[in-house]
Amino acid sequence: MEVKVYTLNAFTQDINWWNPAWVVLNADNLSDNQMQEIAKKINFSETAFVSKTNFADYKVRFFTPTSEVDLCGHATIATFFLMSKINLIKKWNYKQETKAWILDIEVKNDNLVYMAQNIPIYSDILQKEEIADSLNITSDIFISDLPIQIVSTWLRDIFVSIKTLEDLNNIEPNFEKISQISKKYNVIGYHLFTLGTLFSSTAHCRNFAPLYDINEEAATWTSSWALSCYLNKYKKINWNDLIFEQWYKMNRPSKILASIKSKDNKILWVKVWWYWANIQEKKIILD
């Protein structure tokens, strides 16, 4: 059986700043096992599978190389950008069914795709020593006035602040311990960041999700939403337009753009987007 897969390369102002996403359209006849097999063959962080539904405009499921996840912002944006570019959909508002819930999607004339997000949930504050041990560091490189905290706007992550960019880039984590802690606290993984950046951005980030077979993620949409809210809560930002650098450590740099609106210390909305290009087709042969 042959399945068509689209790959999209994402970048911002510089075409050399890119990160691929994979999308399978017309996935109605694929079984769960076949979707998992395709994601494993592709062997990238997430692959999106689009099918029909009676509850929204489209149903989209997301698979890592080892398991299904409820939601992936990165692959959602890629999916709707792709459908717009190949004229399957128009510039409009859409509903997307996921395993998390039904999402609001807006496709705009400038080829930007916006995805709605939940009001942030600030959960457990964790012990620094436990997290430091899993990162093979000492706790003195954490920013002292920022807690290590679980935050979610769609998916739960542990947010970890690091004092300097050099410290962040030097971290060589213990992925087995991160997996154990992620399972213990029912989170996707760790989102590390520092306020010291390369290009006067809001924060420089690294994301570890080994529990889902993603040791280090290239660009993490859902975590960027939650980080925007976290920084707003702890008064580390004083502007609305945010930029997050990620994956420079891996020599495949990404830049995620966000806007945040709040009133009376309450988040009203956060929008995150990216630019896409270089749509290509690939054939996957299923066993």
CB 279 within 8 A of CB 15: no
Q: What is the mean pLDDT of the chain?
A: 89
112: pLDDT strictly greater than 80:
no
Domains of the chain: 2-115+274-285 (3.10.310.10), 121-273 (3.10.310.10)
Dihedral, 260, 263, 268, 272 alpha carbons, nearest 10: 0
179: pLDDT strictly greater than 90:
yes
| Residues tagged active-site | 46
CB 61 within 8 A of CB 46: no
Greatest C-alpha distance within the chain: 56
pTM exceeding 0.85: no
12: pLDDT strictly greater than 70:
no
25: pLDDT strictly greater than 90:
yes
111: pLDDT strictly greater than 80:
no
CB 49 within 8 A of CB 102: no
Using DSSP, state whether 168 is helix, strand or coil. Answer: helix
Q: What is the pLDDT of residue 114?
A: 81
pLDDT band at 173 (very low <50, low <70, confident <90, very high): very high
Q: Checking phi first, is residue 70 left (phi over 0); if not, alpha (psi -120 to 50) or beta? A: alpha
pLDDT band at 158 (very low <50, low <70, confident <90, very high): very high
Q: How many CB atoms lie within 10 A of CB 34?
A: 18
What's the rounded Cα separation, in Å, for the pair 201 and 126? 27
